[in-house]
């Protein structure tokens, strides 16, 4: 089956990246607006995708938009705010069934591309103000989203640990911003934020699927012809500050199971080879059901229900997190650090390393079978300033040796921990 | 037997293996990965059963099916994850109300991973020592879920609807109920429900047909034919109570509104599920007037959604999400349903929703995981994975209306809320 990769500059600071693969039954198109994370803008920018997703100035309301999406064979519109490294990414994306399955030869894919452009470039702004009622509703929805961050206790504990890891740095900003800043947003300030965003961001348009990649590219080239954005340099992001002492945090809530998160820092700069070695090292330590953490902390010593480690290259961190009984905290902590030293000293077997490698290769090779996985992969690549395919990364993983794994852990520093536990 | 679907140009092969196992195969051209599910029709609701020839039903503690799922990964010599480690496959398992599934996905060494899967699921090994250890682990899992507001509000709703049917019970049981499980009980449940005639193997993606069938030939042994009798769970149509509220440390209230419905017959299952799906979208999906009313009143946000929970002898229509005032949401839902019953549903909206559901089921066939999951899910409900597409193209507005009028009784609804402390 045909597969094709295309990356093209639409205009200054606006790029189109497309992957065509005939095996899929749908197409996924996204527009990603990338800006540096800043305390003054993070909240107002987080509101914008929510406003844009409720319809363009040509639509009466969001019901009209939703009925249009339903008529496009259930096209799914999703919008969101995320963080990658020191950047905030505002995304509008649409997933559409491919044209070849339509009942009346409809041009579902290009309709989807045009709709996305309409929502982004023709917002409900009149007289330098967003629709007031719309802003009122979505502002409240944003506040609820900010408050809801504490609902998922596992993710909440990790975020609290990250706040300690990135103390004072923009990377530590919450992805949806702050409640008090959200409360101050008006219809006018939101419109001003929209103009500021569009004129100062980098735009990455992505298309993945089986449809006509060239036609979609032309659509975006035409629709974005009048968009002028100054952008900024993606490759010169601030390196995270290396903390000198370990910071501790704790909070008590009415929870049944306690959570512990332990954050390590590792250099962000360094070669791709170093990054691949770190990826493999972290997986060996805590990224599989046969990792050091799972086997020793959970299975052999029954110290926790789950215990895993995750690597974030763009932020230069490894985060370990576990669900435990409160009285086992100290034991679990000590065992996690003991396992860390074991990996750092190279006291793992060749079989462990090879098996971990197999697991990573399996994951990397499966990326091309999923539209969303490919989108996530390539967006992260673009932010990093690289454009490696999963198979190129797989090749680097096969070349990582035991001493590379040791070296990767040797560069890591325990930096912060956070413990969420019960009030009783 | 091969079933072709010309719309999406896919074929499904159903093989009746000599061992008694049904095997479903869906090759997906161009894919580099394979998704495999080995499932049994045994879930948390199967708490009382007997085999053909036995006189008495055996009642087991809550949580046995889930406990068994955990234990099967262990073996005397080496557990399944240690074996999968040598193939690189990504493996997992889950237990739901009516089935337990063991799965893996891989991009290489399919034959080896399939051998592991078939072998460990058909080779139980339980001892009192390993059972005791698992009680500790599952006890922690149960505690973890106690902190999940979504989980608690869902079971709060089910226990307010169902007097005695086991769908009201947590799938993992309780710390107390699992303390009563022993190795003998696990073996008894295993021998009843893990007979191959009660199971299905579903493979989607990239694979060699002869290779996977030869692995099945080598590993799977024909057992004795077993007829499983699951004890009936009589349940009155009335609900238990109209409201339940608990408190957890969350930011704002979460709710589930549940309508208790008459279960579908096996023959009606496939069509009934599609009718419910279309109906819920028409009533309260993002295209509906109700959704607009609720959203513009600030009573719901993007977390709001609907679901049709359908089992062999239970059925619930669910509306759920976050809200500052769940009781106001319930009042508006009831009001809208009464209005639609009086004035009718919108036929134009029906056509848009039908197209939407059709598109959803077409898109599903782009993912190996979605296909394999749909294959196993539809098999246990008595139909094939292509049925939803076929049904959606033929379903009529009158059928949806008739379905609507017989459901959503106002005396069969409950509101479950989890509030902030």
Residues B248-268: what's their mean pLDDT?
Answer: 96
Contact A77, A30 (CB under 8 A): no
The A306-312 sheet, strands edge to edge: A247-253, A413-422, A258-265, A317-324, A306-312
Which residues of chain B have a CB within 8 Å of the CB of A25?
8, 362-363, 365-366
Exposed (0-12), middle (13-18) or buried (19+): which is A23, by Cβ within 10 Å? middle
Strand partners, A130: A125
pLDDT at A152: 92
Q: Residue B363 and residue A23: Cβ atoms within 8 Å? A: no
- Nearest chain A residue to B293 by CA distance is A63
Q: What is the ipTM of this complex?
A: 0.94
With tokens 């905030």, the residue in question is A88
- HSE-up (13 A, CA, CB side) for residue B167: 24
pLDDT at res. A346: 96
Whether the per-residue pLDDT at B327 is higher than 70: the answer is yes
Overall average pLDDT of the B373-382 stretch = 97
Query: What does the block give as tokens for B392?
Result: 């959606």
Q: Residue A23 and residue B82: Cβ atoms within 8 Å?
A: no
Q: What average pLDDT does the segment B214-239 reach?
A: 94
Q: Strand A26-36 relative to strand A202-209: parallel, antiparallel, unpaired?
A: antiparallel
Give the pLDDT of residue A302: 84
Of A148, A290, A369, the CB nearest to B82: A290
Give residue A3's pLDDT band: very low, low, confident or very high (50, 70, 90): confident
The pLDDT confidence band at residue A240, using thresholds 50, 70 and 90, is: low
Give the mean model confidence (pLDDT) for residues A385-404: 95
Chain A partners within 8 Å of B144 (Cβ): 256-257, 305, 323
Calculate how close chain A gets to B95, using CA atoms only, in Å: 18
Q: How confident is the prediction for chain B on average, in pLDDT?
A: 96
Q: pLDDT by residue (tens digit) across A245-304?
A: 899 999 999 999 999 999 999 987 667 889 999 999 999 999 999 999 999 998 888 888
Cα–Cα dist A145/B301, whole Å: 9
Q: Count of CB atoms within 10 A of residue A239's CB? A: 12
Catalytic residue from among B69, B98, B261, B322 = B69
Among A69, A323, A362, the residue with its CB nearest the CB of B106 is A362
Calpha distance B400→B344 (Å, rounded): 11
* Per-residue pLDDT at A243: 63
Given the structure tokens 């989980």, which residue do they identify? B151
Interface mutation vs chain A, best among B85, B139, B142, most A CBs within 10 Å: B85
Is residue B69 annotated as part of the catalytic site, yes or no?
Answer: yes
Confidence of residue B8 (pLDDT cuts 50, 70, 90): very high
Residue B7 and residue B15 in contact, taking contact as beta carbons nearer than 8 Å: no
> In this complex, do B28 and A23 lie within 8 Å of one another by their Cβ atoms?
yes
Per-residue pLDDT at A386: 87
**Residue A137: CB atoms within 10 Å:** 20
Chain A contacts of B295, Cβ < 8 Å? 62, 137
**For A39-55, what is each residue's pLDDT tens digit?**
999 999 999 999 999 99
pLDDT recorded at residue A339: 97
Write out pLDDT tens, residues A109-152.
Answer: 999 999 999 999 999 999 999 999 999 999 999 999 999 999 99
- Residue keyed to tokens 């359908």: B310
The listed range with the strongest mean pLDDT (A33-37, A168-172, A267-271) is A33-37
> Which tens digits make up the pLDDT trace of B98-122?
999 999 999 999 999 999 999 999 9
Is residue A237 very low, low, confident or very high in pLDDT (cuts 50, 70, 90)? low
Is pLDDT at A239 greater than 70 in this prediction? no
User: What is the strand order of the sheet A3-11 is part of?
Assistant: A3-11, A14-21, A202-209, A26-36, A87-97, A76-84
One-letter-per-residue 3-state SS of A121-177:
HCCCEECCEECHHHHHHHHHHHHHHHHHHHCCHHHHHHHHHHHHHCCCCHHHCCCCC
Count helices and strands (H / E) in chain A.
Answer: 15, 13
Q: Is B352 exposed, middle or buried (0-12, 13-18, 19+ CB in 10 A)?
A: buried
Model confidence pLDDT, tens digit, residues A12-33: 999 999 999 999 999 999 999 9
pLDDT at position A384? 87
- Residue B413 is predicted with a pLDDT of 98
Residue to substitute from A3, A29, A54, A73, interface B, most B β-carbons within 10 A = A73
In this structure, the number of other CB atoms found within 10 A of the CB of residue A103 comes to 10
From the list A26, A256, A368, which residue is nearest B363 (CB)?
A: A26
**What percent of chain B lies above the pLDDT cut of 70?**
100
Q: Is the dihedral of CA A264, A267, A273, A275 positive or negative?
A: positive
- What pLDDT does A223 receive? 96
- Best probe of the A interface among B79, B87, B366, B421, by most A CBs < 10 A, is B366
Contact A402, A350 (CB under 8 A): yes
Q: Write down the pLDDT at residue A168.
A: 80
- Report the pLDDT value the prediction gives residue A308, as an integer from 0 to 100: 97
Q: Test B363 with A368 for CB contact under 8 angstroms.
A: no
**Contacts of residue B408, Cβ cutoff 8 Å, sequence gap at least 6:** B259, B317, B337, B341
Average pLDDT over residues A183-203: 97
Closest to A254 (Cβ–Cβ): which among B288, B367, B421? B421
Q: Do B298 and A137 touch (CB under 8 A)?
A: yes
What single-letter DSSP state applies at residue A238?
Answer: P
Average pLDDT over residues B34-55: 95
Six-digit token pair at A25? 């039954």
pTM: 0.96
* C-alpha torsion angle, residues B140, B144, B145, B150 (rounded to 10): 180
Q: What is the largest CA-CA distance in chain B?
A: 67
Q: Is the pLDDT of residue B406 over 60?
A: yes
Query: Which whole number is the average pLDDT over B153-174?
Result: 98
For residue A256, give the nearest of B107, B143, B252 by CB distance: B143
Span A336-348, average pLDDT: 97
Contacts of A289 in chain B (CB under 8 A): 81, 84-85, 91
- pLDDT value at B169 more than 90: yes
pLDDT band, residue B224 (cuts 50/70/90): confident
């Amino acid at each position: 089956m045909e597969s094709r990769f295309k990356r093209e500059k639409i205009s200054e600071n606006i790029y189109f990246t497309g992957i065509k693969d005939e095996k899929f039954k749908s197409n996924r198109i996204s527009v990603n607006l990338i800006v540096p994370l800043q305390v003054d803008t993070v909240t107002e920018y987080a509101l914008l995708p929510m406003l844009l997703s409720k319809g363009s100035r040509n639509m009466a309301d969001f019901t009209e938009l939703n009925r249009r999406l339903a008529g496009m064979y259930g096209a799914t519109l999703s919008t969101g705010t995320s963080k990658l490294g020191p950047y905030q990414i505002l995304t509008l994306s649409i997933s559409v069934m491919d044209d070849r399955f339509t009942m009346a030869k409809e041009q579902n894919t290009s309709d989807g591309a045009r709709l996305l452009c309409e929502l982004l470039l023709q917002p409900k702004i009149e007289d330098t103000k967003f629709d007031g009622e719309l802003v009122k509703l979505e502002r409240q929805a944003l506040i609820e989203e900010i408050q809801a961050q504490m609902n998922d206790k596992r993710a909440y504990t990790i975020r609290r640990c990250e706040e300690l890891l990135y103390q004072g740095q923009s990377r530590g900003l919450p992805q949806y911003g702050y409640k008090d800043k959200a409360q101050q947003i008006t219809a006018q300030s939101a419109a001003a934020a929209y103009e500021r965003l569009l004129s100062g961001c980098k735009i990455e348009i992505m298309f993945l699927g089986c449809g006509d990649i060239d036609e979609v590219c032309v659509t975006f080239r035409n629709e974005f012809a009048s968009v002028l954005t100054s952008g900024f340099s993606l490759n010169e992001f601030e390196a995270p500050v290396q903390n000198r002492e370990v910071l501790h945090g704790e909070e008590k809530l009415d929870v049944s199971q306690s959570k512990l998160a332990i954050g390590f820092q590792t250099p962000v700069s360094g070669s791709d080879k170093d990054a691949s070695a770190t990826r493999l090292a972290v997986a060996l330590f805590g990224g599989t059901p046969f990792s050091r953490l799972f086997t020793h902390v959970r299975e052999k010593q029954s110290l926790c229900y789950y215990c895993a480690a995750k690597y974030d290259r763009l932020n230069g961190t490894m985060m370990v997190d576990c669900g435990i009984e409160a009285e086992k905290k100290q034991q679990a902590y000590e065992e996690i650090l003991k396992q860390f030293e074991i990996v750092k000293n190279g006291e793992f077997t060749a079989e462990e390393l090879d098996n971990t490698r197999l697991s990573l290769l399996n994951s990397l090779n499966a990326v091309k079978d999923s539209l969303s996985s490919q989108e996530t992969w390539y967006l992260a690549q673009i932010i990093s300033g690289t454009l490696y395919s999963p198979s190129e990364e797989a090749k680097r993983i096969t070349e990582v040796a035991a001493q590379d794994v040791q070296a990767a852990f040797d560069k890591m520093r325990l930096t912060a921990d956070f413990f969420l536990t019960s009030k009783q | 037997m091969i079933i072709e679907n010309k719309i999406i140009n896919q074929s499904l092969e159903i093989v009746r293996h000599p061992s008694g196992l049904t095997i479903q195969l869906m090759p997906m051209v161009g894919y580099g990965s394979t998704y495999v599910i080995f499932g049994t029709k045994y879930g948390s609701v199967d708490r009382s059963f007997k085999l053909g020839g036995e006189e008495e039903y055996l009642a087991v503690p809550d949580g046995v099916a889930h406990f068994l799922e955990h234990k099967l990964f262990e073996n005397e010599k080496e557990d399944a994850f240690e074996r999968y480690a040598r193939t690189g496959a990504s493996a997992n398992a889950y237990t739901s109300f009516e089935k337990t599934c063991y799965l893996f996905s891989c991009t290489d060494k399919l034959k080896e991973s399939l051998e592991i899967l078939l072998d460990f699921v058909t080779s139980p090994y339980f001892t009192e020592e390993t059972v005791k250890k698992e009680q500790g682990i599952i006890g922690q899992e149960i505690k973890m879920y106690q902190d999940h507001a979504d989980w608690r509000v869902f079971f709060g709703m089910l226990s307010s609807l169902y007097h005695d049917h086991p769908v009201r019970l947590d799938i993992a049981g309780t710390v107390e109920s699992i303390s009563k499980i022993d190795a003998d009980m696990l073996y008894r449940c295993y021998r009843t429900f893990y007979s191959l005639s009660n199971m299905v193997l579903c493979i989607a993606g990239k694979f060699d047909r002869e290779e996977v069938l030869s692995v099945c030939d080598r590993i799977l042994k024909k057992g004795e034919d077993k007829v499983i009798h699951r004890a009936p769970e009589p349940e009155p149509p009335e609900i238990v109570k109209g409201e339940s509220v608990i408190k957890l440390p969350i930011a704002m209230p979460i709710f589930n509104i549940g309508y208790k419905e008459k279960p579908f017959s096996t023959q009606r299952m496939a069509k009934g599920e599609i009718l419910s799906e279309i109906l819920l979208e028409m009533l309260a999906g993002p295209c509906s007037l109700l959704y607009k009313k609720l959203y513009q009143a600030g009573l719901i946000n993007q977390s709001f959604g609907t679901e049709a929970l359908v089992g062999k002898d239970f059925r619930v229509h669910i509306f759920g999400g976050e809200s500052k005032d769940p009781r106001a949401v319930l009042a508006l839902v009831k009001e809208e349903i009464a209005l639609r019953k009086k004035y009718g549903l919108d036929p134009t909206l029906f056509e848009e929703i039908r197209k939407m559901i059709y598109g959803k089921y077409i898109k599903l066939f782009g993912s190996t995981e979605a296909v394999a999951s749909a294959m196993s899910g539809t098999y246990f409900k008595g139909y094939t994975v292509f049925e939803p597409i076929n049904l959606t193209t033929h379903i009529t507005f009158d059928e949806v209306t008739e379905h609507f009028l017989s459901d959503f009784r106002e005396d069969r609804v409950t509101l479950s809320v989890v509030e902030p402390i």
